[in-house]
Every structure is written in structure tokens, then in C-alpha cells.
Amino acid sequence: MALNIISNYAANVAHRNLTASDEMATRSLSKLSAGTRVVSARDDAASMAIGARLNATTQALKTATVNVGQANSMLQIADGGMATIDDVLVRMKTLAVQASSGNLSDTERGFLNDEFTELRDEIDRIASSTNFNGIQLLGNGGDVAIEYGDLAAGQGGEDLVPAFGFDGFAITDNNYWATDTDTGGDLTDSQFTVNINYAAGGQVIMTVSSTIDGGGANDRTQSIDVTDYATGGTTEISAGENATLNFDELGLTFTVNTNFSSTVATISGDNSGDSDFGSGTDFGGGGVDVSDTTVTMAADSGQQLATNIEFQVGGGNTANDRLSIDLTAVDSAALGTGGTGQESLSDL
């Protein structure tokens, strides 16, 4: 049986040409709808490569524009913080001029100095808290913690416990304690020590001393009279109540309970020094050693101030595509140190 192949050659040619025409029309419509001459590499491979590169550059420049806007916002925040510090400095100068006048007594100068000290601490707070997306702009961001393990038995601060009147501690000036320069925020050589001593005239004085970075120019000592906190005193702490002792120059507060009144009364009743808290070894005549009152700082996880910030303001990877701005700390430890032999603001 014979095999016959029936084919319409003319129809096949027409179909092929129709398919090619349809494809060309489709490509032309895609160019018209896209508004571009080159839609795919088959149209013009070289032009396609050039266009892709130009498009990447355009998108990069758009992102760089966003960077410029955010950089401007960052600098405006820094400028706002600096303006506030400038206002504080003007007020501090006013207080200094006022305190220099001979018509004021030492008591009145003390009031002026109290405000001056608070303003100095406010400058540190502004410098520490001014940041953009966690990036410090005016100074180091302090985040210091107390090593509460020192309060355990056998440790350095084991006597600062509720039984002797101490319920809690708090850091109120992170910036001061963050002046430790140890790499990695290790503050084991920054600590405070508590002493409560009998003084002449029957007074009882509580003294707290700080040691920063193993000892140096940033160490401070502050004392307050706690005589009236004794049992029977005008500010005796009743059972179930608490009082707060504020050592603002050291950036510390102590929460004390009714046992603190008993501790003060014991020290007041023994003028030999054996019951002095922080050094005595025969507290209340009971042979109790109360000489372990030193607590260290655990860590500083605050963000540090960078020396400079680079803003990407171009689409390339050259120096011309970046804008670098140097940063300088404006906290009280840095202000006023520009002149030779000149004291910093924190020393005033």
C-alpha cells in the first residue's frame, strides 16, 4: 500500500510569514508601551548594557539623595543639642559672674554653686543622650551597671545589706561612670566605697568615695550629715518606710530602711571609732566586722562617640562620593580644656 503525504506548501509559507510578522508587531508594541527603543538584548545588546548601567547609577543616586536627607536630619539633631548646651553655658557664666560679687555671703554662693553643678550635669546628660539611630553625636553614651554580686557574702560590699539599712542603689549619672577608658567597657577598676563615721560634736557623717579607672583625676568624694536619721532623730526612718540619700556629685543614690536609723544610732553612741561603718571591726560591741563596703561597676555597654562619620552622598566608591564630618565631645570633661593648663568644666 502506498504512503502519501498531503501538504499545502503555500499555506505553510504564509503561516510562517504571519508568525514572524506577529512577533515583530508584538516587539514593536512592547517598545511603544515601554517608551524605550531597547527592550531586550536582542534589540541592541550594547545599548542594553549601557542602559542597565545608567539605570543602576540612577537608582544609586536616588538612594544617595535619601542619605543626604538623613544626614541633614542627623546634623540638625546635633545642632539642636549644641544650641541647648550653649544656652546652659550662658546661664553658667551668668551664675559665675553673680557669684564673683562681694555682696554675697558664702551661703548664697552655695545656692549659686548648686545650680551651677546641676547645669554641669545637664550638659553631660545632653551630650550622653543626643544620638541618631543609636549613633552618638555629642559624647559617649554611658550605660553602666552596678556589680550586685559584690553584695554577696564574702565579696567586697557584703556589709551594704538591708540588715544594716541598705535596700538599694541606683546610678543617676551614667556619663560620669562611663569615663573609664578600659577597652570593651570593663569597669572592674571603677568602684565606690561607703563610710559612716562618728565626728566631733556627736555628728555622724556618711561619706561615699568613687574610684574611676583605678584612680585618677575623675575620682570624687562627697559627704552628708546623717545624724538626724538616728533612732529618735528628726528624720528617723520608721518601720516599713524608706528614705533616699542622694550623692549627686558621684551620680549615686542609696535607698535606706529603718535599720539605717539603728546603724546611725549605734555609731553615734560609740565615739571610739570601733563602730564606724566601713572601717570598724567591733560594730556595737558585738565583734561584728563592718569594713566591707566597696562595690565595683559591672559593665559599660553604651555607644561610644566616633571620631568622624562618613556620609555616602554619591553613587560611586571614591572619596568624592563621601562627605566626612569630624565629631568632638562636648561634655563637661571636654569643655574648657582647649587652653594650656586650663581646667575642664567638670572641675569647676
Q: What is the pLDDT of residue 87?
A: 93
- β-pair partners for 221: 209
pTM of the model: 0.58
Please tell me the distance from the alpha carbon of residue 199 to that of residue 234, in angstroms, as a whole number: 19
Contact 230, 240 (CB under 8 A): no
**Exposed (0-12), middle (13-18) or buried (19+): which is 336, by Cβ within 10 Å?**
middle
Give residue 284's pLDDT band: very low, low, confident or very high (50, 70, 90).
confident
Q: What is the pLDDT of residue 185?
A: 44
Q: Is the pLDDT of residue 348 over 70?
A: no
Q: Is the pLDDT of residue 70 over 60?
A: yes
Q: What is the pLDDT of residue 186?
A: 47
Q: What is the pLDDT of residue 189?
A: 72
Q: What is the pLDDT of residue 287?
A: 87
Question: What share of the chain has pLDDT > 70, as a percent?
Answer: 86
Q: What is the pLDDT of residue 150?
A: 78
Ranges 23-37, 60-74, 121-135: which has the least confidence? 23-37
Q: Is the pLDDT of residue 255 over 90?
A: yes
Domains (ranges, CATH) in the chain?
70-140+306-347 (1.20.1330.10), 144-300 (no CATH)
Give residue 31's pLDDT band: very low, low, confident or very high (50, 70, 90).
low
Q: What is the pLDDT of residue 184?
A: 46
Strand, coil or helix: 309: strand
Residue whose C-alpha is closest to residue 262's, from 284, 290, 285? 284
Q: What is the pLDDT of residue 188?
A: 60
